[in-house]
């Protein structure tokens, strides 16, 4: 058994890609996209027609509507290949606007429904700001399921659990990146690998909290830099993995055992934790890594959204 098949015994494998023609080889259940992945895909010759066809069909409509229609076009193509759900992201520039995020999410879902796709096959991705979590809470009450992204801290995860969102995506690799850069020449790769990786430790803390207190929100580790991070989180509810790392897992016969276990989490002695808005904002402020990476992530996704709009205008 290769490592990918072994992982699937404990964890739902999700493909992290807008390149849907790669998906069939790895047979993931779900798939995630983001503005950066879609931007990368539409610049490839094999996907260019999705951009030009969408622009031609809806030329003259508002630019943000054409963007959403393109995102849904990719999502529909992905859902024709996978059996599960696809995550589609609300414009990152709305990360601090609850009402605008809700409105945009509802339109994305309506566009999917117009394609004959059931609402349960779509997760709306929203940044895990306080405003984004509030938007997700509203959407969940309306039957629209959400994926809270750009999640780097325990306080973000706790607030998402309180809001009863469907799923969170803690960013393992970006946490690792921050600590490695911060340590500079003092970074010891071997000492910070596997279970000691700072991104892995963050997800394990969230996992243990959720399972110990019976929080139903799904945990999907994301943004991996190496296979070791994935192996160290075997047993997490879901892991979203790039095609490159999926291929490495499929090519390896090395042993892979469950690393996270819900029964072990239930046996832990953990304090109950809750956050109101003031407490959330202070806890996030106290976490320099999470503050930096959340802001950086929103800026990067917003910049790629602008680049995607420029491609649409030029088409």
Coil, helix or strand at residue 115: coil
Q: Which entry of 8, 40, 125, 181 is annotated as an active-site residue?
A: 125
Cα three-residue angle 243-246-249, rounded to 5 degrees:
155
Q: What is the DSSP letter of 188?
A: -
Coil, helix or strand at residue 221: strand
* Nearest-angstrom CA–CA distance, 117 and 72: 10
Reply yes or no on whether 307 is catalytic.
no
Q: What is the CA radius of gyration of the chain?
A: 19
Q: What is the DSSP letter of 13?
A: E
Residue 199 φ/ψ, nearest 5 degrees? -70, -40
Q: Which two tokens stand for residue 267?
A: 């046996």
Whether 229 contacts 241, CB under 8 Å: no
- Mark 246-258 as b/e (b = at least 16 C-beta within 10 Å): bebbeeeeeebee
- Mark 125-143 as b/e (b = at least 16 C-beta within 10 Å): bbbbbbbbbbbbbbbbeee
Q: Who's near 291: CB < 8 A, 6+ residues apart? A: 284, 285
Coil, helix or strand at residue 243: helix
Nearest to residue 157, comparing CAs of 104, 248, 221? 221
Catalytic site positions: 125
């Amino acid at each position: 058994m290769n490592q990918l098949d072994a992982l699937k015994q404990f964890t739902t494998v999700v493909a992290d890609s807008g390149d849907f023609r790669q998906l069939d080889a790895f047979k993931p259940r779900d798939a995630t996209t983001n503005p950066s992945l879609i931007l990368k895909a539409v610049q490839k010759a094999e996907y260019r027609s999705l951009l030009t066809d969408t622009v031609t069909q809806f030329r003259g409509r508002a630019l943000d509507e054409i963007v959403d229609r393109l995102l849904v076009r990719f999502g529909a193509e992905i859902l024709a290949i996978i059996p599960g759900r696809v995550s589609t992201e609300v414009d990152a520039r709305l990360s601090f606007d609850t009402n605008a995020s809700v409105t945009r999410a509802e339109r994305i879902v309506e566009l999917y429904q117009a394609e004959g796709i059931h609402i349960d096959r779509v997760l709306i991705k929203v940044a895990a700001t306080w405003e984004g979590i509030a938007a997700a809470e509203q959407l969940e009450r309306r039957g629209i399921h959400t994926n809270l992204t750009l999640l780097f801290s325990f306080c973000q995860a706790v607030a998402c659990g309180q809001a009863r969102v469907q799923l969170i995506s803690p960013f393992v690799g970006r946490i690792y990146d921050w600590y490695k850069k911060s340590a500079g020449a003092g970074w010891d790769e071997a000492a910070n690998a596997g279970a000691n990786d700072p991104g892995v430790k963050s997800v394990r803390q969230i996992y243990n909290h959720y399972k110990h207190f019976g929080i139903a929100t799904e945990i999907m580790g994301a943004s991996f830099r190496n296979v070791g991070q994935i192996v160290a989180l075997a047993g997490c509810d879901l892991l979203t993995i790039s095609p490159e790392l999926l291929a490495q897992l499929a090519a390896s016969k090395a042993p892979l055992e469950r690393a996270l276990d819900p029964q072990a989490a239930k046996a832990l002695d953990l304090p109950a934790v809750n956050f109101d808005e003031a407490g959330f904002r202070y806890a996030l402020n106290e976490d320099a890594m999470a503050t930096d990476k959340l802001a950086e992530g929103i800026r990067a996704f917003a910049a790629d959204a602008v680049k995607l709009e420029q491609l649409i205008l030029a088409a």
